[in-house]
Structure 1
Amino acid sequence: MFHQEQVLPTQVRAVVGTSGFCSGHTGPHRQGLEHGNTLQGALSAGAAQRTVGDTSSAETTNQLIQTLQLPMRKECGTMGKSIIVETNHFALDLSRVQNNIIIHYDVTLEPSFPQRMLRAAMEEFRLKHYPKRFPAFDGKKNLYSSGDLPFGREMCDHIALCDNESGKERKFKITIKYASQADLQSLVQYTASGASLLPPQKAIQAVDIILRNVSAFRFVQAGRSFFSPPKGRVVELGDGVEMWHGFFQSAILGWKPFVNIDVAHKGFPSARNVVDLILEVCKLRREDLQKELSIQQKEDFLNYIRGLKIDYMLPDVPTSKRTYKVNNITKSPVEQFFELDDHKWISVAEYFAYEKKVILSYPHLPCLHVGSVNRLKPIYVPAELCTVTRGQVTIRKLNETQISNMIKNTTTSTDIRKQKIQEALRSVRFNDDPCMKEFGLSVSDRFEKVEARVLEAPQLQYNVEVGKKNVVNPMKGVWRPLTFLSTNKLSHWIILNLNKYTKEDEMRRFGVEMQNVGRTLGMDIAPPPPPKSMQPPTKNTHQLMEFFKTVKTEVQLVVVVIPDRGDCYAKVKKVAELNVGLLTQCVKGRTMSRLNPAVCSNILLKINSKLNGINHTFASVSRPPCLFRPVMIVGADVTHPSPDQLSIPSVAAVTASHDPKAFKYNIQIRLQPPKAEIIEDLENIMRQQLLFFYRHTSACKPERIIFFRDGVSDGQFAQVLKSEVLAIRRACFSMSQEYEPKVTFLVVQKRHHTRFFPRSEDADGRYKNVPPGTVVDRKITHPTEVDFYLVSHSSIQGVSRPTKYHLLWNDDDDIMTENEIEKIAYYLCHMFSRCTRSVSYPAPTYYAHLAAKRARVYLEGENIKLSNLQSQQHICAALKEIVSDHPMFFV
């Protein structure tokens, strides 16, 4: 059980009351308050008569909480070996700023489309009314200038431009109104003292738009990144998509202002003739184009072409060129008829033959329905006369093949990536831009040098066997497994083959290899019976369900061999976990054909976890102090559907440990409205997790909760703090009015572009990355709050992406110091059950990703009613016997 060692009490680091914060800064951090003024004390005082489980006073609680301030840094971490790294943060120089006041104008353009022409319209407006001034425009509605522009508080005028796509003239009515002002000097003051409770958001936004204004005129913008057409060889990613190179840029605040520059890559629709794209997308040969496409081929083509712009042009007639958006595909030119002005009906093929003198080469391919959908007479154009317009920014997700090809073509070492970043910086030419000069801003061309530390990896304990080593020291983030710490005998199991290419002798060899490798890992595995085979399930999963029901009482586990492609995995998991209550381990056919001891070892890492075994834990010398008392470690994430998936909900997943070794986790899953980032049912989720912990630890309550929250952006910190931290508190309070565990709440972020470049003597591996355990908590981090970057893994491909941690709440900064938080974050990266290498973020967060991914599997093919998600929760609820008997079934 947990070691009974005394822990020091501490104070809550937030203030509750109606008058804001009760104390200001004392040195670099705020003082805590006495217990009577803690958050939990306020909850108790405000709801003294509540019964256990009652959460009716949530509104009262929210009224009590006026402002919650993030913990502030007492001192930076000190553990580990010191090294110097360079980072892709470039100092933003404000020393030459003449006019500290930035004027913000609100811009209205009528019409507000097409958006691609708005910058050009504003540039014409500038040349006409203030040609010697160079304000920054965000491309939508915000304009920033250094001091007042030469008109009063408002100006309105009309601008006419030629639309290059349609060849027509477009007129815009532009109105500019004074909105507000920002002080650039506030950036300097904030980073110097941290005295302001909130960063100068207006100034940050203004600077970011000024920097973005420089790039927007010369590059194709996609979000925060900018791209230019490929020069020389075009990298085709497959299925009608080509890769463009570009760069990411963003203004950020560390201990001083910086510009973050990184390389970027994105898939763009290939600018090729539509017929060639049909060949590629539909996997056809040229001779196949003389007949009509099948229903499936039409669907594949439509999924690709719908919503894209195409350039239509008659052969050798450049003046006929027009650009249209594709609404749909229709019948072939010989079958698609339309009405002429004289009310005669004619086929598209006949029209082009007689009116345009063009004989179509592929009259059986679908026509494209283009132009306005509201047009009385729709426009149909033959596919062969169309080319996909170059440089279109889409929000579509790449498929597996495209992602694989992109990785192959973008994987580089740190020195090559550094060189590409320098090239990107030179191509932008920030310091030559008249807008930058007018504001007095300049960007350094030197990578910022930062002091870093390399933390020592934890020693990991395996099972004790006489005369054998039971502790391993990870080297460069990797180690060899020893005998599992604890196992359960796999005495009854069976192999089910759903892959027609897997041979019976391969499955028999798999059974023997599993037994052999199991012995080396200390896991007793009985020989399986002869494998069973059946056709992979299609829409009807009845045969699979009957098989699972038949063997449920006879076996502990079914190993299912599945095809390398398709939705077989989803069907297996849904039937086994939602309908039958059976533990399964899926193995792809290609894995079965490449079988070796290392592959079997990796499979057994997962199987042992599913059977409630423990692979490894921290050796006693490496056990973090916070784990010597009952502690629950939690990982949480909310995953969202892609922008084009309009009928799919978001998924909130929360995993929590329930054993003293911090190895075993269980999951809670909830469906949420699309794009809802806050975990809406967190109070009930945490209550269920606390009850699970209580039952599985012999009636023990965690004295501390360490919460790792993924998927939250900086702008959502306040919302998460007020909603989710309070939900955790209410869940604890519902267990008992006296129950007040210490809470440490960290946000885990991977969606950033910070990279580290080590000196040659510190470089690790073929890609020359910083070594695992590298932590940076100064200079490029927040000037006063507790945040740090940690590279916890050894990169398999390319440049390591550090994980950023930001502390939002800490009840116990005497025990949970920055050193301790950095250490526990790094150590937990060694506790992921599925591999014997440290991963890029803590195991509980990784498990939250896996849990959300499993929920996505459950949702495949389901018709979800977004209007009543509460009634749909059962769709992603695994059967109780799976959840209670095998909590780690999801790994």
Structure 2
Amino acid sequence: MKHSKPEALPPPPPVIPFNFAPAKVDQSNRRPMARSEIGTKGQRISLLTNHFNVAFFNEDGNPVESKGIGRRLLDMVHKTYESEMGGKEVAFDGEKTLFTVGALPGTKLEFIVVLENASSNRTIRGETKRSRRLPQSKPYKVTLSYATKIPIQAIVNALKGQDSEQFIEAMRIFDVLLRQHAAKQGCLLVRQCYFKNDRRNFIDIGGGVMGCKGFHSSFHATQSGFSLNIDVSTTMIVKPGKVVDFLLENQNVCCIKEIDWLKAKRTLKNLRIKTFPSNLYYKIIGLSEKTCREQTFSLKKNNHGDEAINITVYQYFVEYHHKHLEYSADYPCLVVGKLKSPTYIPLELCELISLQCYTKPLSNSQRASLVKSRQKPQDQMRALMGELKQSNYDADPLINATGITISNTFTKLEGRVLDPPKLKLGSGRYLVPCGGRWSFNNKTFVEPTRITHWAIVNFSSCCDMNTLRRDLPRCSQAKGLDLDPPSAVIHENSQFRCSPAHVRVDKMFETIRQRLSSPPTFILCILPERKNSDIYGPWKRKCLVDLGIVTQCIAPIKIDHQYVTNMLMKINAKMGGINSLLSIEFSNAIPLVSRTPTIIFGMDVSHGSPGRADVPSIAAVVSSRKWPQISRYRASVRAQSARVEMIDGLFKPISHDKDEGMIRELLDDFYLSTPKLKPKNIIIFRDGVSESQFNQVLNIELNQIIEACKFLDEQWDPKFLVIVAQKRHHTKFFQANSEANVPPGTIVDNKVCHPKNNDFYLCAQNGKIGTTRPTHYHVLLDQIEFSADELQELVHSLSYVYQRSTTAISAVAPIRYAHLAAGQVAQFVKFDDMSDTASSHNGGDAGGFTQLAKLHHKVSNSMFFC
């Protein structure tokens, strides 16, 4: 097979009629739209929700939180000068703001307090630990200056649907109150969640990691009034104990000789330890480059002279502290303290303290252990009620001083269960999903594709190839898929299995070139590991960027009929087929969408691991194609500055007649995939943004999309529908006296929704494990003028067009596809040498925008992400 350099992408055809005169885009400050009506369709259902009503009894209010020495200082100020502060309870936000209920005696107060040195008397999660050092005292001057008054009336006004500039600040104050209440109990605070140091809440999930069960609490303004939202939450923590024991378990090795110290350094950085028997606490900043026996430091012989000697860490602890080091001598020391004057401590004299967050990715087995620990609805309700009673918020002096009381019963509300949409399958068959699920048993795909000249490559030494080669043609024929026998089945040469991943991929393609006379149209790739395989990234990049070959990766533990069916569903969609359609989509009966050319966008951004500021974020936008269908999509992907949520690559004009933005690329595709029509309606589903970013979506991202449209044609004026989907919230719904989750299709647009804005909750999926989390949809803008029922049924239906599965999914398919596209490109981009394949503008023009290697033109229009 001859191979040349990857083909250059041809210049985009002038598909949409141009009018290059720049047009002005309305830059008015758009705000989320108000609700005009609620939905009526669906069967009524009585529900309970984990919101607890909060009643006001006065008009002033205020909050708290803490971190570092700030809380200790202010606690001492309040304790020492309570009368001078007018007997007021105080709340601290952990930064520079202190809140009180009512005014202090003066607008500027100054106090002097004395604290013992933090290194001699440490408080760790509510437990005071004393060291053998004598306490040292240090005076501090604390100045309190009046800043502003935040009235509770701002919340009252918001509950009436009135805009208030002080509402967000007032809500922040109440949430700070909850954090301070938890901090007083010695809890680990993670945003609005808190976790108690109680081993009954710990779940050992392996790898030196534990799941720690806790709770989320936050106040909300809703249609039924002010409410307290309490939810169960789980965070990952490092297993406390000896550092060496943690490393052995984390790296799954049997002895200290097998530890990967480079990996250990990354894992241990910023974790806190206690040294014994001295009981001193430190933060790890790294590992020594030399062993304990070789690492030296300068030791003064006494405190009065300047004479110092160089001594090894091993000598110091053996000779001066009489420690018998059993195994640390020949391994690195922990480095603590400051970089300029580090302190070295042998490994065996350190142990990790409790309640420290673990932020690294979890393995499959760890995730499986977490899934097993999920609570059923009734168990979760009992846990929430027990925590509400145990927290006893009414006894908190500061919360009590605000004049609010919190109900001790779940809020009752009414929901509706929407009927599932009818689906169109192959051979003229239709079906109605039951319980949010359906099956392809004895059924065919609605639009099966034909696959010729394809190959199987095998990187695994344990895959059951005989079963795969037997069941694959049998199952594909049953689904209507025209699959020729593979042109080649290529096994990896065993001599390369220990080579770096990119070498293994290159060697495999050398073999493919030798075995095949021309490039295959499709490759089925068998990986050695199910998840996080090093081969996955470079393999995908080679296929999708360099060669333009559609590929499906698998790593089966057990191959059966269902596994092969699921795999064929992905392959059929990637190769241009469709597994199922909505009946109303097939018959062009979707309200508003089927009558008017409409394009649907799904938008999401994938970020690197926490703390990786050097890894760009990946933005993805998927768009529907071949209108009036809404089940086919393609993706446009760009890199941008790390940790930036707003997408800045939607509109990128580089000359008076050329735009390299994502929207232009997708609009061109829509124009070509339809009978040369421009969409008159543009529906946008945005994932991953918080309420504080809604205005940015409307006034930054939407403006880019409008500018992209105007750049193509100044007279083009499509109508927009903008919806944000949120999964990271804590509202849950329960059926009273039932162990079951709410049925799929359950929708709620009253009581716990926003008092003014247009939003609703939808549980489209069938929650078989744990307690179902609904998706919270916020309708920010609707120029198309859907009725409430039309819009809610469209969103519900879009949860059934996901081509990868035979279940309704929790969020609409365009959003899930955008998430997959961004995640897949992020996977193969991290294996790129960014200096060769990408260029970035560090803080300069284009806001840190980074260029990615483009997808090969042969796969750019495919559902490669499916």
Deviation at 1:398, TM superposition (A): 3.9
In structure 2, the CA distance between the partners of 1:395 and 1:583, relative to structure 1 (3 Å rule), is closer
The answer for the alignment partner of 2:827 in structure 1 is 857
The answer for the alignment partner of 2:484 in structure 1 is 526
Deviation at 1:260, TM superposition (A): 0.9
Does the 8 A contact of 2:607 with 2:643 survive in 1? Answer: yes
Q: Does 1:779 align with 2:751?
A: yes
1:708 to 668, 685, 701: 685
Deviation at 1:585, TM superposition (A): 1.1
Identity rate, percent: 28
RMSD of aligned Cα (Å): 2.5
The answer for the alignment partner of 1:839 in structure 2 is 809
Deviation at 1:188, TM superposition (A): 2.1
In structure 2, the CA distance between the partners of 1:704 and 1:527, relative to structure 1 (3 Å rule), is same
The answer for the alignment partner of 1:754 in structure 2 is 731
Deviation per CA, 1:697-753: give whole Å up to 9, x if none. Answer: 121222211110001100011111011222222222223223222211100111101
Q: Does 1:553 align with 2:518?
A: yes
Deviation at 1:93, TM superposition (A): 1.2
In structure 2, the CA distance between the partners of 1:797 and 1:169, relative to structure 1 (3 Å rule), is farther
Name the amino acid aligned to 2:854: A
1:484 to 445, 469, 472: 445
The answer for the alignment partner of 1:143 in structure 2 is 98
In 1, Cα distance between equivalents of 2:575 and 2:466: 22
Which secondary structure does the structure 1 equivalent of 2:731 belong to?
coil
In 2, Cα distance between equivalents of 1:70 and 1:281: 46
1:379 to 318, 339, 343: 343
1:75 to 37, 45, 48: 37
The answer for the alignment partner of 2:274 in structure 1 is 311
In 2, Cα distance between equivalents of 1:874 and 1:149: 55
Name the amino acid aligned to 1:430: Y
The answer for the alignment partner of 2:644 in structure 1 is 676
In structure 2, the CA distance between the partners of 1:150 and 1:681, relative to structure 1 (3 Å rule), is same
In structure 2, the CA distance between the partners of 1:635 and 1:103, relative to structure 1 (3 Å rule), is closer
How is 1:531-610 mapped onto 2 (pairs within 5 angstroms)? Answer: 531-535=489-493, 538-540=501-503, 541-548=505-512, 551=516, 553=518, 555-564=520-529, 566-590=533-557, 594-610=558-574
Q: Which deviates more from structure 2 when the two are superposed, residues 782-791 or residues 383-392?
A: 383-392
Deviation at 1:338, TM superposition (A): 2.7
Deviation at 1:574, TM superposition (A): 1.0
Does the 8 A contact of 1:548 with 1:582 survive in 2? Answer: no
How is 1:733-812 mapped onto 2 (pairs within 5 angstroms)? Answer: 733-760=710-737, 768-812=740-784
Does the 8 A contact of 2:73 with 2:113 survive in 1? Answer: no
In structure 2, the CA distance between the partners of 1:609 and 1:284, relative to structure 1 (3 Å rule), is closer
Name the amino acid aligned to 2:32: L
Q: Does 1:329 align with 2:293?
A: no
In structure 2, the CA distance between the partners of 1:52 and 1:549, relative to structure 1 (3 Å rule), is farther
Name the amino acid aligned to 1:372: K
The answer for the alignment partner of 1:635 in structure 2 is 602
In 1, Cα distance between equivalents of 2:849 and 2:555: 31
The answer for the alignment partner of 2:183 in structure 1 is 216
Q: Which deviates more from structure 2 when the two are superposed, residues 303-312 or residues 452-461?
A: 303-312
Does the 8 A contact of 1:104 with 1:178 survive in 2? Answer: no
Deviation at 1:349, TM superposition (A): 2.2
The answer for the alignment partner of 2:864 in structure 1 is 889
Deviation at 1:392, TM superposition (A): 2.8
Which secondary structure does the structure 2 equivalent of 1:403 belong to?
helix
Q: Does 1:341 align with 2:303?
A: no
The answer for the alignment partner of 1:388 in structure 2 is 352
Name the amino acid aligned to 2:631: F
Q: Which deviates more from structure 2 when the two are superposed, residues 360-369 or residues 848-857?
A: 360-369
Which secondary structure does the structure 2 equivalent of 1:632 belong to?
strand
Deviation at 1:833, TM superposition (A): 0.5
Name the amino acid aligned to 2:592: C
2:213 to 229, 245, 252: 245
Deviation per CA, 1:449-507: give whole Å up to 9, x if none. Answer: 11111111100011235xxxx111011100012321112222332211111222xxx32
Deviation at 1:554, TM superposition (A): 5.2
Which secondary structure does the structure 2 equivalent of 1:226 belong to?
strand
1:184 to 146, 149, 152: 152
In 2, Cα distance between equivalents of 1:138 and 1:677: 25
Deviation at 1:123, TM superposition (A): 1.3
Deviation per CA, 1:330-355: give whole Å up to 9, x if none. Answer: 23322223333243333322222221
In 1, Cα distance between equivalents of 2:146 and 2:202: 46
Q: Does 1:406 align with 2:370?
A: yes
Name the amino acid aligned to 2:483: I
The answer for the alignment partner of 1:88 in structure 2 is 50
2:74 to 122, 147, 154: 122
The answer for the alignment partner of 1:424 in structure 2 is 387
Deviation at 1:866, TM superposition (A): 4.7
Q: Does 1:473 align with 2:441?
A: no
In 2, Cα distance between equivalents of 1:642 and 1:306: 15
Q: Does 1:438 align with 2:401?
A: yes
Does the 8 A contact of 2:456 with 2:489 survive in 1? Answer: yes
The answer for the alignment partner of 2:856 in structure 1 is 879
Which secondary structure does the structure 1 equivalent of 2:241 belong to?
coil
In 1, Cα distance between equivalents of 2:413 and 2:573: 40
In 1, Cα distance between equivalents of 2:822 and 2:370: 25
Deviation at 1:675, TM superposition (A): 2.0
Deviation at 1:560, TM superposition (A): 0.8
Q: Does 1:262 align with 2:231?
A: yes
Deviation at 1:356, TM superposition (A): 1.2
TM-score of the aligned structures, taking structure 1 as reference length: 0.85
Does the 8 A contact of 1:135 with 1:144 survive in 2? Answer: yes
In structure 2, the CA distance between the partners of 1:169 and 1:450, relative to structure 1 (3 Å rule), is farther
Deviation at 1:237, TM superposition (A): 2.5
Deviation at 1:881, TM superposition (A): 1.5
Deviation at 1:300, TM superposition (A): 2.6
Deviation at 1:622, TM superposition (A): 9.3
In 2, Cα distance between equivalents of 1:661 and 1:708: 17
In 2, Cα distance between equivalents of 1:176 and 1:543: 68
Q: Which deviates more from structure 2 when the two are superposed, residues 533-542 or residues 704-713?
A: 533-542
Deviation at 1:104, TM superposition (A): 8.9
In 2, Cα distance between equivalents of 1:54 and 1:404: 55
In 2, Cα distance between equivalents of 1:172 and 1:643: 35
Does the 8 A contact of 1:640 with 1:675 survive in 2? Answer: yes
In 1, Cα distance between equivalents of 2:701 and 2:151: 34
Deviation per CA, 1:376-426: give whole Å up to 9, x if none. Answer: xx32111111111222345544444433322322x1110011111112212
In 1, Cα distance between equivalents of 2:676 and 2:43: 42
2:107 to 120, 141, 152: 152
Which secondary structure does the structure 2 equivalent of 1:456 belong to?
coil
In structure 2, the CA distance between the partners of 1:161 and 1:56, relative to structure 1 (3 Å rule), is farther
In 2, Cα distance between equivalents of 1:334 and 1:160: 38
2:611 to 630, 636, 644: 644
Which secondary structure does the structure 2 equivalent of 1:442 belong to?
strand
**Can you give the 5+ residue segments of structure 2 that lack an aligned partner in the other structure?**
1-16, 123-130, 302-307, 652-660
Which secondary structure does the structure 2 equivalent of 1:787 belong to?
strand
Deviation at 1:562, TM superposition (A): 0.7
Does the 8 A contact of 1:337 with 1:348 survive in 2? Answer: yes
In 2, Cα distance between equivalents of 1:725 and 1:820: 23
Q: Which deviates more from structure 2 when the two are superposed, residues 605-614 or residues 396-405?
A: 396-405
